[in-house]
Amino acid sequence: MRSRHTARKIPHSAFCSGFSLFEVVISLVIFVASATVIGQLVSNGVRAAVRSRLESQAILRCESKLSEIVAGAITMQATSDVPFTDDSSWTWSSSVQAGPNPALYLVQVKVSHPSSGQLSDLSYTLSRLVRDPNATLQMTTDQQAKQKTSQSSSSSSTGTSSSTGGSR
């Protein structure tokens, strides 16, 4: 007779129902690595957006200052690191050099913004040939004088002409 003393069989599904410690650690490592990569991507995107906004402001500020110089609101002379009135973190500088023609100047305006955090310093330079304001004023005065001379000579020639009739 056989003894009925047999070992109980434990079903195979009872061992496989939970995760092992190794599987949990691997899944945590994958989660942390993917969160780090996503965080870096977001950080790079934010930095690029801030840099783009600063570059757009630099271009607009540079064009504005150069337009003020061309219009004569600011004297055409070399300046260095002058802060903007609306935001003192922005500075501008200008240089004036002789142009290819005696009546032209090469005006350069540089706008700068210091680095903030992980961004590097930002600067933008714009150049333009500008007529000499004194030469332009002299040309305008000369042209006006010519026009007055030509108008007075044409009016005098028409005013002095008269028809002479002879008697027969």
pLDDT in tens, 90-138: 999 999 998 888 889 999 999 999 876 667 788 999 999 988 877 766 6
* Average pLDDT of the chain, as a whole number: 81
Report the C-alpha gap between 29 and 117 in whole angstroms: 30
Is the model's pLDDT at 22 over the cut of 50? yes
**Hey, where are the domains in the chain?**
22-142
Q: What is the pLDDT of residue 62?
A: 94
For residue 128, the cross-strand partners are 107
Residue 127 sits at φ, ψ, to 5 deg, of -120, 150
Residues 61-101: pLDDT tens digits?
999 999 999 888 888 889 999 999 998 899 999 999 988 88
Residue type at 24? V
Query: Which range (15-24, 85-94, 143-152, 159-168) has the least confidence?
Result: 159-168
| 131 φ/ψ sector (left φ>0, alpha ψ -120 to 50, else beta) | beta
C-alpha span between 95 and 128 (Å, rounded): 11
Considering 7-16, 33-42, 43-52, the range whose residues carry the highest mean pLDDT is: 33-42
163 has pLDDT over 60: no
Q: Collapse the DSSP code of 46 into the 3-class scheme (helix H, G, I; strand E, B; otherwise coil) and give the result.
A: helix
Per-residue confidence (pLDDT) for residue 103, from 0 to 100: 84
Q: Average pLDDT in the 158-166 region?
A: 46
The pTM of this model reads 0.61
Which of 106, 112, 105 shows the shortest CA–CA distance to 59? 112
